[in-house]
Amino acid sequence: MLRVLEKRDIGGAHDTDRMPTSTEHWRARAALPASKGILAPEPGAPGIAPHAAAADLQAASGDAPVRLSRLPVGPAVAHLVRHVWVPRWRLPPGVVVEQGVLEYPSANLVVEAHAAGLYGPAPGRSDERLEGSGWAFGALLQPGVARRLAGVPMRSIVGSLVHLHELRAHGAAPFAADVRRAMEIGDEASAVTYLEQWIGAQEIVLDADAALVREVVELAESDRSILRADDLARASGLGLRSLQRLVRDELGLTPKWLIRRYRMQEAAAALAESDPPPLAELAASLGFADQAHLGREFRAVIGETPRRYARRAGARGPESAPAVLG
């Protein structure tokens, strides 16, 4: 399943004034820090660091009790998979981590030691329970891809899953077995290769709606001027009803949800920095009418006030990196 403030404006992410192409956008986003979407654990508790630099240190450390790596896929399947994410954890007996996550607006193909499936996005905050030792291998699919694999309405898998053997796909069992063997010996590069070979062999055809919803998600993620569903409809050249139908059919979500999710990911990332911005400044940068509106939205989604979250994240500090996983 986030350090995002400085490059969210479309023009600000590039040295020229031209609009980035869709391919450029997704390539850039695939390289985002592993901490994007990760919420700060309680002070003193192991967990994935919400600071980008600290999360990168965790990912590179073999001693961190919890760490998260984000890996790219090859260009042949980049239109199908945004990136691969790999959490690993090794916790002392009796220690349990409830890792908070704000998921992306797309489905994840996940292989674990004893389970595998296509997981839809959680509509609110999700908390992953980690204990003992383990790993997971996840592929965040590009918007529009999951519908071609799932074989069921996307609304039915929001907050739920389709088991791997139920997908419209062949060779699922051998694929999962290959990934598990690679992950058990720590060979994440081979696991990514198995994913690329398997999903590339499915011959997934992405139609005009799939391409359009990908553009819509790109706009919601990147364009700071988009504050409401009407704004997103105008920016994408669609009527509001057409936009709502597209997002519902392709993602199982609503345009309002897309906009809210990305703004909350940005807010959480900014507040977890060692020197978070003033709340009034953050609210304005994210398009909220005022600090109070940001506070209500943040509390509704994340479950606590922005001030409390910032204090909790700051209590950990960037130096807490060596004590966590993903």
Digit-coded pLDDT (tens) for 207-234:
999 999 999 999 999 898 898 999 999 9
Residue 205 has pLDDT above 90, yes or no: yes
H or E segment to which residue 116 belongs: strand 116-119
pLDDT at 53: 66
Q: In whole angstroms, how far apart are CA 171 and each of 1, 57, 164, 244, 269?
A: 26, 36, 10, 34, 38
Residue 46 has pLDDT above 90, yes or no: no
Average pLDDT of span 128-136: 92
H or E segment to which residue 284 belongs: helix 279-285
Q: Which stretch of 11-25, 125-139, 222-236 has the lowest confidence by average pLDDT?
A: 11-25
Banded pLDDT at 49 (limits 50, 70, 90): low
Banded pLDDT at 252 (limits 50, 70, 90): very high
Domain range annotation of the chain = 1-12+20-326
Average pLDDT of span 237-244: 97
Q: What are the φ and ψ backbone dihedral angles of 33, each rounded to 5 degrees?
A: -55, 150
Give SS3 for 165. Answer: helix
Strand-pairing partners, residue 111, are 116, 137
